[in-house]
């Protein structure tokens, strides 16, 4: 569990254990039912429909962010580790040197193949205005801090995420130290293909 003066971060596995902490899956479902994100249905769908199964299958782990003041759910993020291929060309020599420490270079096309920490989901809870109690920067900072704890235990230095091709979002991530490295086509909850921008940051 991660705790700051304003927020407490709970790994949902705390609910999925043997009940020794007085929690449980039924309680977790009740907590998740309070999450709403109409501006991004995929974010809401993931936490309510997929986060528990993904944690059970070791595909990703979701972290719930509560206000320490009154234990209100204000947001969440989901983390996992995934392989990525990074085109080295847009990056400085300093970043290339750091990438080379944790990757394999394909000299033919100058790409780095490596495993990286993925911030798979990041979302604020818009139920009853809870979203106003945490900023996007604070939520992202909590996710990065959690990854730094994992880094201390297991190493690694690359974080990446995927965002819709919207300047508002991309500007936010650039302002927080992320750099674009590729794109990926994916399906939305409606089954429509759309392009995601992939961005990375070095710890």
Could you tell me which of 130, 126, 125, 5 has the C-alpha nearest to residue 75? 125
- Which DSSP category does 165 fall into? S
Q: What is the pTM of this model?
A: 0.91
Give the CA distances from residue 72 to residues 34, 92, 139, 162, in Å, rounded to whole numbers and listed in that order: 9, 42, 14, 27
* 66-85: pLDDT as tens digits: 999 999 999 999 999 999 99
- pLDDT surpassing 90 at residue 12: yes
Q: Quick one: how far is CA 173 from the chain centroid?
A: 12
By three-state DSSP, how is residue 127 classified?
A: helix
Distance, CA of 39 to CA of 152 (rounded, Å): 35
Q: Angle at CA 84, nearest 5°, toward 79 and 90?
A: 115
Give the CA distances from residue 146 to residues 22, 26, 82, 131, 172, in Å, rounded to whole numbers and listed in that order: 24, 25, 16, 20, 20
* 155-184: pLDDT as tens digits: 999 999 999 999 999 999 999 999 999 998
CATH code for residues 2-202: 3.40.630.30
* 95-147: pLDDT as tens digits: 989 999 999 988 888 899 999 999 999 999 999 999 999 999 999 999 999 99
Q: How many CA atoms lie within 13 A of 172 on its CB side?
A: 18
Extents of the domains making up the chain: 2-202
């Amino acid at each position: 569990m991660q705790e700051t003066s304003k927020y407490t971060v709970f790994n949902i596995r705390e609910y999925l254990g043997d009940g020794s902490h007085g929690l449980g899956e039924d309680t977790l479902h009740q907590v998740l039912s309070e999450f709403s994100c109409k501006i991004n249905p995929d974010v809401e769908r993931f936490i309510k429909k997929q986060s528990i199964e993904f944690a059970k299958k070791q595909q990703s782990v979701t972290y719930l962010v509560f206000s320490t003041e009154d234990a209100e759910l204000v947001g969440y993020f989901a983390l996992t580790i995934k392989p990525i291929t990074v085109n080295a060309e847009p990056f400085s020599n300093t970043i290339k040197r750091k990438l080379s420490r944790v990757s394999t270079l394909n000299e033919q096309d100058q790409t780095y193949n490596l495993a990286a920490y993925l911030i798979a989901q990041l979302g604020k809870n818009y139920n009853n205005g809870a979203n106003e109690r945490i900023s996007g920067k604070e939520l992202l900072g909590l996710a990065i801090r959690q990854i730094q704890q994992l880094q201390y235990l297991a190493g690694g230095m690359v974080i990446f995420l995927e965002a819709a091709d919207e300047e508002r979002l991309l500007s936010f991530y650039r302002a927080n130290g992320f750099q674009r490295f590729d794109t990926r086509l994916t399906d939305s909850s409606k089954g429509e293909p759309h392009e995601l921008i992939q961005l990375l940051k070095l710890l």
